[in-house]
Amino acid sequence: MDETGTRNLAAESAFESAFESAFESAFAAVLLEHAGGGAQRVVGGDGSTARVVLAPVEGRAVLDLRTVSSPVRDTFATVLGLQLPTVAWLSAADAEGRVHALWTGPGNWLITCPDAQRPDLEARLRTALEGMTGALTDVGAGFAVLNLSGPAAADVLAQGCTIDLDPAAFPEGACAMTALARMRVVIHRLPQAGGYDVYVARSFAGSLWQWVTVAALEFGYRVGQ
């Protein structure tokens, strides 16, 4: 290979590395800015108590599963270790709480799991789909995920969306595709007081962070892991 070809390969490799790094941490820039004040710094509120904890979620795979075949529950139960929810606003999790299925529409679910688990899970889902009318797409690179927890987490989200987040209407395990401050998001209330995961298009990660931190000021917030 000549010198020009070598330089081109080096340039392509550098671009790919930068591209991959950008997608690895959608909140990298805002986290770096916040880090200057210390990890446990409380912003807003009374300055000493954080009633909201903001934690960017990294290392999570997201697969979009669509099928018009019926029934589907038994077809995927063995693969996922859970029964796909078929009722609006519901999610399901496997016994270990590592794999989740979020209902986003009739015959449509977001399947989430740790990145390390994705290749095997995706392969098994594709095998299960054989002979069915459906599709499976890896959409993880298109999402950023922010977790909000703490006693005022729902109060923060309620400032920007119209769905009722009262525990009676939106219990643990509930999920909904909605608008949050004019951004299209999926909100998933985690079990065991795990707070709320907010899925947003990765290009809106900065906008989501800016809106959430302003909305959380009155309650006091800190950045968690």
Rounded mean pLDDT of 187-215? Answer: 94
Question: What's the gap between Cα 156 and its chain centre?
Answer: 17
Collapsing DSSP states into helix, strand and coil, what is residue 107? coil
Residue 180: pLDDT above 80?
Answer: yes
pLDDT tens string 82-128: 999 988 999 999 999 999 999 999 999 999 999 999 999 999 999 99
pLDDT tens string 29-61: 666 666 655 557 888 888 888 999 999 999 999
Residue 213: pLDDT above 70?
Answer: yes
CA distance 146 to 207: 12
Helix or strand run (H / E) with residue 126: helix 118-129
| pTM for this model (two decimals) | 0.84
CA distance 205 to 37: 21
CA distance 23 to 65: 22
Tell how strand 52-57 and strand 221-223 pair up. parallel
Collapsing DSSP states into helix, strand and coil, what is residue 86? coil
Q: Within a 10 A sphere around the Cβ of 146, how many other Cβ atoms?
A: 20
Length of the chain: 225
Residue 151: pLDDT above 60?
Answer: yes
Residue 176 pairs with which residues in a beta bridge? 187
Rounded mean pLDDT of 167-175? Answer: 95
Beta strands, E only, 84-161: 91-93, 100-105, 108-114, 134-138, 143-149
Tell how strand 108-114 and strand 100-105 pair up. antiparallel
pLDDT at 20: 40
Hey, what domains does the chain have and what are their CATH numbers?
A: 24-57+142-223 (3.30.1360.120), 60-141 (3.30.70.1520)
pLDDT tens string 68-93: 866 666 788 989 999 999 889 999 99
Asked if 211 contacts 179 with a C-beta cutoff of 8 angstroms, the reply is: no
pLDDT at 35: 60
Q: How far is CA 69 from CA 91, 92, 129, 168, in A?
A: 19, 19, 10, 32
